[in-house]
Chains A and B, each alone.
Chain A
Amino acid sequence: MGIQRYVAKRTLQAILVIYVVATAVFVAIRSIPGDPARLILGGDADADAIAAVRAELGLDEPIYVQYARWMADLARGDFGASIYTGEPVLARIAGAAEPTLSIGLVGISIAILIAIPAGIVSATRRDQWEDYVATGVAFLGISMPSFWIGIVLLLTVGTAVPAIPSYGYASISEGVVPWLSHVILPATAVGLPYAGIITRMTRSSMLEVLGEDYMQTARAKGLPPRLILFKHGLQNALMPVVTVAGILFALLLGGIVAVEMVFGIQGFGRLLIRSIERQDFPIVQGSVIVISIIFVFMNLFVDMLYMSINPKIKYGGGA
């Protein structure tokens, strides 16, 4: 199979996956007991008012009509609007995404800044004290829940350093310093477990590369060790690490949601939980679609990246 056909096939499959996810969430959220119209109007609303709101939101129609209409809207790129505020879904998600993305991006940067040097040291000083320290700290990182790191950071750094606020969020439009000072603790909380994973991956990837023939050859040629390590070793060792780090970003979400709660940040996680509680169907549906698009295409992208790095991987038969 040629590469173009393979990419086309995978893209089609990705769209299919997103379609199934979207349908599943459509059904799932409608099976939650309760009625959004009643939630909007409160407990003592009369039946006529509820019926009116239901009609206005299109909830009185048979479920397959609602489904067909929603799909038709989606196909036009219309994700609908919050049934509470009337705000368009994508605008609402974009509004909540900034803090979440900030925490995620700063978190992954912290993770990489710590993990790659730690992993290299761990591999090159294998079975020496540097390796033991790096390995121990990495395992500790992997074993801590992000939100708990957040609490510990709040109690220690948050109380000791008055310049670092321990609550809320400041948009980057208010300036980089206030933004970073609000983001740094939650980002560290999210980033440390990932630093642990990436340290371990860098270490094993580096160890593998160090044993390769071309490294022996480079050594035999008498190249300076530092050059060998950074030019030949690092380049090859980091490729798999970078691709996995990419996937991990999509998976940070779970940790970020809980960390947002610890620091009282109104991000995507809070929006999601709140919307499910209020049965704000359009927001929940839209959020899930956005998340699954990010997941699926990130995965696809990483696969492609992998293939272009390693031409030995066949496209065709496998996943």
Chain B
Amino acid sequence: MSTDYGDADTFLGVRLDRFARLRETVAGDYKATFGLTTVVLFVLAAVFAPELAPYDPMAQEYAIMQAPSLSSAHPLGTDSFGRDLLARMMFGARISLGVSLGAVTIGAVVGVSLGVVAGYFGGWVDDALMRFVDVLWAFPWLLIAIMLVAVFGQGVWNVVAAIAFAYIDDFARLARGEVLSIREEEFVLAAKNVGLGDVQIMVEEVLPNAVAPLIVQFTVLVARAMLAESTLSFLGIGVKPTTPTWGALLGQGRSLIGQAWWISIIPGIAIVITVLGINLFGDALRDAFDVRGEGGSP
């Protein structure tokens, strides 16, 4: 069902008129407007956290350590070490968003490469690569994360690696499926006849025509990666406990749930609003790019 867009203006391989449609979709749809606005607001809060945060996220106020509370000085409360939760959440947003974006980017680069090569060459290459992808898929990502932490200790990169690992198979399957339908198209055959190399054909002819569903997939998986990061941090197998991430903040609040419910609840609300925003925006992208279907691993 793919078409050669010929000389049509494109950005990242997506025709510009699709972006015009995206703009219309976002403007005419409360869901999409809400999604885009929240994502932008949270990204801004994360990027400008050092300038905007009301307190130093590591600063402890001993006076309120024993009695964490909501007050006008600390509207979102303080944690059990007397640290301001709003400041910690703003800095936490940098890690949570950064980890998710990084992990999905790595998963996308590796997975799309595998999928494009498998779909383009077919035959035994396809069989071998896709069985490798099956192995990745059969390996529970949570287990990969636990193992990485056991071998290398806690750290941001282990979390990125574990989540990236989990999404390679999603990207590989999607890319392969797209390529299978593209590779018999006339413009690919023409490129072969003209004598273009395989790599050049894959990068310049095939990939740009598969990019719309991949962008949608990317958006949806960033949302899932944020949930995965928060789960890992909550379980204590994510980043170092001193690093503020939304999941870690939530996890620390769990033991204090009787006296200070907000430590567990407020970072959770931040997670939900952000992930909801990304999901709604992804849905708008799906409509605008005319990509069907949803699914994949949670």
Contact = CB atoms under 8 A, between A and B. Distances in A.
Contacts, number: 141
A217 B280 CA distance: 35
Main secondary structure of the interface of A (DSSP, over half): helix
A276 B138 contact: no
A70 interface: no
A251 B254 CA distance: 25
Interface in A291-319: 291-292, 295-296, 299, 317-319
B40 interface: no
Most chain B CB neighbours (cut-off 10 Å) among A28, A154, A299, A319: A319
B70 interface: no
Interface stretch (B1-9, B189-197, B269-277): B269-277
Contact of B231 (A16, A147, A292): A147
Nearest to A254: B142
Interface stretch (A115-123, A136-144, A231-239): A136-144
Nearest to B130: A319
A300 B130 CA distance: 14
Contacts of A16: 131
Contacts of B52: none
A292 B142 contact: no
Given A143-B275, A145-B271, A148-B271, A32 B151 contact: yes
Interface in A138-176: 139-140, 142-148, 151-152, 154-155
B279 A254 contact: no
B151 A254 contact: no
A28 B298 contact: no
Contacts of B261: 155
Interface-central residue, B150, B223, B280, by most chain A CB under 10 Å: B150
A255 B298 contact: yes
B134 A151 contact: no
Contacts of B230: 145, 148
A272 interface: yes
Interface string A59-94: 000000000000000000000000000000000000
A91 to B, nearest CB: 21
User: Which of B146, B230, B250 counts the most A-chain CB atoms under 10 A from its CB?
Assistant: B146
Interface residues of B, number: 49
A143 B268 CA distance: 10
Interface residues of A, number: 57
Interface stretch (B85-93, B201-209, B289-297): B289-297
B48 interface: no
A147 B250 CA distance: 10
Contact of A288 (B140, B294, B295, B298): B140
Nearest to B292: A204
Interface stretch (A50-58, A95-103, A222-230, A257-265): A257-265
Contacts of A292: 138-140
A318 B179 CA distance: 12
A296 B250 contact: no
A25 B268 CA distance: 33
Contact of A17 (B131, B235, B276, B294): B131
B141 interface: yes
A92 to B, nearest CB: 17
A151 B271 contact: no
B235 A257 contact: yes
B117 interface: no
Given A144-B272, A193-B298, A204-B294, A296 B265 contact: no
A33 B151 contact: yes
A154 B255 CA distance: 13
Contacts of A218: none
Given A17-B135, A32-B151, A139-B276, A197 B298 contact: yes
Interface of A: 13, 16-18, 20-21, 24-25, 28-29, 31-33, 135, 139-140, 142-148, 151-152, 154-155, 193-194, 197, 200-201, 204, 244, 248, 251, 253-255, 257-258, 261-262, 269, 272-273, 276-277, 288, 291-292, 295-296, 299, 317-319
Interface of B: 31, 122, 130-131, 134-135, 137-143, 146-147, 150-151, 173, 176, 180, 223, 227-228, 230-231, 234-235, 237, 247, 250, 254, 257, 261, 264-265, 268, 271-272, 275-276, 279-280, 283, 292-295, 297-298
21 contacts: A16-B131, A17-B134, A25-B143, A31-B151, A143-B272, A144-B271, A145-B230, A147-B231, A147-B250, A148-B230, A151-B257, A151-B265, A151-B268, A155-B261, A201-B294, A251-B298, A258-B231, A269-B142, A272-B142, A276-B150, A319-B173
